[in-house]
Amino acid sequence: MTLKDHRGLAVTGASPAALERFENALALFNRFGVDPVAELDAALADSPGFVMAHALRAYLHLVGTDPIGPLAVRHNLEAARAAGNAREAAHILAMEAMIDGRWRNAARILEDVAITWPLDLVAVRAGHFVDYLLGDSRMLRDRIGRALPAWSPATPGWHAMLAMHAFGLEETGDYARAERQGRKALEIEVRDGWAWHAVAHVLEMQGRSEEGVRLMNEGAGHWSRDNMLAVHNWWHLALYHLDLGDTAEALRLFDGPIYGVKSPIAFDMVDASALLWRLKLLDVDVGGRWTEVAEAWAPCQPDNAYAFNDMHAMMAFASAGRKDDVRLVRSVQSSARDSLGDNRDFLLQGGQAATEAMAAFVDGDYRRVITLLRPVRHQAYRFGGSHAQRDIIDLTLLEAAIRAGDRDLSVALASERADAKPHGGALLLAERVRRAA
């Protein structure tokens, strides 16, 4: 008998009990609940030939960009090769591409899967994350928009589709629709960390920082407990406080939920570096915190294959004075430029320049920062992240212009920022720069 998942798609190699474990894991993934991998391991212990459980387990490890990811899932790839249908065979090709660092190929394969099988929530969800890693704003939105007509509020996982759509709409500047979709998702599943994340992005991009503080504090009991996205959402709360000039609260959040527990997860270390860097740009003394973050980044570098992570690792290594690690990042990037994976393009299209700019800023070579960042700032999306995360490039360029004494450029950049975000901290910064000039 051929079993079907909760959205009516045939699956190979699963017992009824294993299928339920898989659905539990997918539901956890869709709200970022803690430990979907344990559920998948239980499903695979019961049904070792369960192809889609192998695929989902692989995607869970690979989208995190941690160096250990490809090594941790090669056995899943091999075990899944006996796919029973065309949809599963396509997932195997996507897994292979991701393991090899061919993210764009994986994105296209998963796109085609979702075009033919729009109810394949694994393909849609994994593809959405690959779009984020590629910085592909259009596909963050359109991958979901294409599939939505096949869905309804009665389809299991509907809240996740709304949350993903919300984030894609936010990344393409449709803030009103994004907020509506995100809040609809939360009405269905209040623990959906991605929906909270999408609404948090809207408020960040619109400069609604006081509202953001209220929203995230009021909802913390839902998004911060047993949620793999909790650190990132705490980071968003810290950004609101920085915009309001409350650096003390941002530091308190760093020492508590953001980095009180020294996470070895790449996404969490990116948040730690990014918050300390914003404080550095504001001349806030962060004490020995850079050393702690640099020590966490150090084991990742020899196998790193993602320029966006390199940039954040460089912030930590340079700020902590770890010259050997700074050289190692440069060596890794030099080697990656000769590789066949997509990271070669990420570096050539701006990732290497942005990484070098962070080191130059620490060295006080602000003219070099300007030289490196001005040509790449408008194409920084090509090496990943979100608009809110990539904003660190604009902030660094502006602060470098101020410190280099380039009054014309600093006034222009501050004015540009205030025009794009005519609220809160951006307006205050623009006024400060104009007065100084």
More confident residue, 31 or 341: 31
C-alpha neighbours within 13 Å on the C-beta side of residue 185: 29
Could you read off the pLDDT of 40-93 as tens digits, one per residue? 999 999 999 999 999 999 999 999 888 788 888 989 988 888 778 999 999 999
Can you give the pLDDT at residue 14? Answer: 96
Can you give the pLDDT at residue 82? Answer: 79
Can you give the pLDDT at residue 304? Answer: 57
Residue range 265-273: mean pLDDT, rounded: 94
C-beta of residue 149 within 8 angstroms of C-beta of residue 162? no
- 339: pLDDT strictly greater than 90: no
Distance between CA 373 and CA 108 in Å, rounded?
Answer: 30
With a CB cutoff of 8 Å and minimum separation 6, the contacts of 69 are 61, 62
What does the CA dihedral 313, 318, 323, 325 come to, rounded to 10 degrees?
A: 0
- 303: pLDDT strictly greater than 60: no
Residue 317 is given by DSSP the state H
Cα-to-chain-centroid distance, residue 337: 23
Number of CB atoms found within 10 A of residue 254's CB: 22
- 429: pLDDT strictly greater than 80: no
Distance between CA 155 and CA 425 in Å, rounded?
Answer: 42
Can you give the pLDDT at residue 129? Answer: 96
More confident residue, 382 or 8: 8
C-alpha neighbours within 13 Å on the C-beta side of residue 130: 28
Return the percentage of the chain with pLDDT > 70, whole number: 97
**pTM for the full predicted model:** 0.94
Q: Tell me how far CA of residue 8 lies from CA of 2, 4, 296, in angstroms.
A: 11, 5, 43
C-beta of residue 224 within 8 angstroms of C-beta of residue 230? yes
Of 28, 137, 13, 139, the closest CA to residue 76 belongs to 13
Return the percentage of the chain with pLDDT > 90, whole number: 81
* Winning range, highest mean pLDDT, from 45-54, 301-310, 325-334: 45-54
Mean of the per-residue pLDDT values for the chain?
93
Mean pLDDT is lowest, of 30-39, 41-50, 98-107, 418-427, for: 418-427
For the chain, the farthest-separated pair of C-alpha atoms sits apart, in whole angstroms, at 75
Can you give the pLDDT at residue 305? Answer: 73
Can you give the pLDDT at residue 341? Answer: 83
Domains detected in the chain: 1-156 (1.25.40)
Dihedral of CA 272/276/277/278: which sign?
A: positive
C-beta of residue 238 within 8 angstroms of C-beta of residue 256? no
- 435: pLDDT strictly greater than 80: no
- Of how many residues is the chain composed? 437
More confident residue, 27 or 69: 27
With a CB cutoff of 8 Å and minimum separation 6, the contacts of 205 are 170, 175, 387, 388, 421
Of 251, 257, 259, the closest CA to residue 227 belongs to 257
Tokens, residue 377: 């700032």
Can you give the pLDDT at residue 30? Answer: 95
Distance between CA 74 and CA 94 in Å, rounded?
Answer: 13
Residue range 363-391: mean pLDDT, rounded: 94
- 234: pLDDT strictly greater than 70: yes
Can you give the pLDDT at residue 427? Answer: 67
- 369: pLDDT strictly greater than 60: yes
Distance between CA 383 and CA 394 in Å, rounded?
Answer: 15
